[in-house]
Amino acid sequence: MNKKNVLILCTANSCRSIMAEALLNAKLGDCLVAQSSGAKASGMVNPNAKALLEEKGYWRDEYHSKVIETVLDTSFDLVVTVCDHAKENCPMFPKSVKTIHLGFDDPSGKAEEEYEKTLLLIEKELLPVVKKELCHV
């Protein structure tokens, strides 16, 4: 079975998009490959987000903050924006691709439990949508 490609797009690609990428790969990796990038990537992964993903067993060493230009040539089946800024600044991809928006509040700079809340929201709201779109099971 050919796995579908999904891109999770955020502004800084340091927290929400990385958490969504890790969660999708961990939970739906049998039918898709998730990547993430940022409209204005920060170049670093939020340490609290990384620690939470490691604790849950979702972290992979290849996860890192990357600019959108590094993935523009990838043929995606779905692009998901997870913040309003990324939605407004989503680039045009070489081939037509379905884009959906599911916004999540940025937990950066907030208490550690906010990261857990965001991860649970991503799991509850984003996973079913992506599964329905790409994993016809």
CATH for 105: 3.40.50.2300
10 is catalytic: yes
Domain count for the chain: 1
**Single pTM value for the model:** 0.92
Are 107 and 115 contacting, i.e. CB atoms less than 8 angstroms apart?
yes
**Ranges 88-92, 106-110, 122-126, 133-137: which has the least confidence:** 88-92
The mean per-residue pLDDT over the stretch 113-129 comes to 96
The parent domain of residue 32 ranges over 4-134
Coil, strand or helix at 54: helix
Residue 5: other Cβ atoms inside 10 A: 18
45 pLDDT band, cuts 50/70/90, is very high
CA-CA distance, 10 to 83, in Å (whole number)? Answer: 6
83 is catalytic: yes
Instruction: Report pLDDT for 94.
Output: 59
Choosing from 15, 31, 83, 135, the catalytic residue is 83
CA-CA distance, 54 to 110, in Å (whole number)? Answer: 19
Choosing from 15, 31, 90, 135, the catalytic residue is 90
